[in-house]
């Protein structure tokens, strides 16, 4: 057994009881009073960087403006990837269609029927649209797929 007065460690590597090295902080006292340093997300860092003036641009436009012009120039020459980037930013990405299997639709229809049945039993009948809205809270695609 290690000596409690000298601060020797026990064989398991922990400090002996009563050792001042084992309890450096009193209850309620933090070892890091300032807390974790504040950090920003990658997208915030990009926004900050792109909003700054481009030092190499004679007109002192922002970096975002310079990049937008470069992508436009590529799109103008027929670069499909640049065209797609502009369209996605301006028009939004095209919606993707969801293939709904017969089995999945049947499951959703049964869930809607169950919601309507339970509401009726509770004395608060609901319409099919209300049942779909309720189901959509749990299955977000339900409202798009069943209406």
| pLDDT above 70 for 2 | no
Are 134 and 115 a contacting pair, CB within 8 Å?
A: yes
User: How many residues are present in the chain?
Assistant: 147
Indicate the SS3 state at residue 17: coil
Domain ranges of the chain: 42-91, 102-146
Tell me the per-residue pLDDT of 78-114, one tens digit each, with 9 for 90 and over.
Answer: 999 999 999 988 988 877 666 667 777 888 889 989 9
Sign of the torsion angle spanned by Cα atoms 79, 80, 85, 90: positive
Give which of 126, 141, 131 is closest to 110, Cα–Cα. Answer: 131
Average pLDDT over residues 30-46: 83
CB burial string 33-68: b at 16+ within 10 A, e below: eeeeeeeeeeeeeeeeeeeeebeeeeeeeebeebeb
Say whether pTM exceeds 0.75: no
List Cα–Cα distances, 142 to 41, 69, 110, 137, in angstroms: 32, 41, 12, 9
| pLDDT above 50 for 116 | yes
Tell me the per-residue pLDDT of 5-24, one tens digit each, with 9 for 90 and over.
Answer: 545 556 666 655 555 555 56
What mean pLDDT, rounded, does the chain reach? Answer: 81
């Amino acid at each position: 057994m290690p000596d409690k007065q000298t601060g020797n460690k026990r064989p398991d590597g922990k400090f002996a009881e009563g050792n001042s090295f084992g309890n450096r902080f009193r209850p309620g006292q933090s070892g890091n009073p300032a807390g974790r340093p504040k950090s920003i997300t990658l997208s915030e860092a990009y926004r900050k960087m792109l909003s700054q003036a481009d030092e190499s641009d004679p007109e002192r436009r922002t970096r975002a403006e310079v990049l937008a012009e470069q992508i436009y120039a590529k799109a103008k020459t027929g670069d499909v990837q640049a065209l797609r980037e502009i369209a996605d930013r301006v028009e939004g990405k095209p919606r993707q269609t969801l293939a709904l299997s017969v089995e999945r639709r049947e499951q959703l229809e049964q869930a809607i029927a169950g919601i309507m049945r339970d509401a009726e039993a509770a004395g608060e009948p609901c319409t099919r649209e209300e049942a779909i809205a309720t189901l959509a809270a749990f299955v977000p695609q339900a409202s798009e797929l069943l209406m």
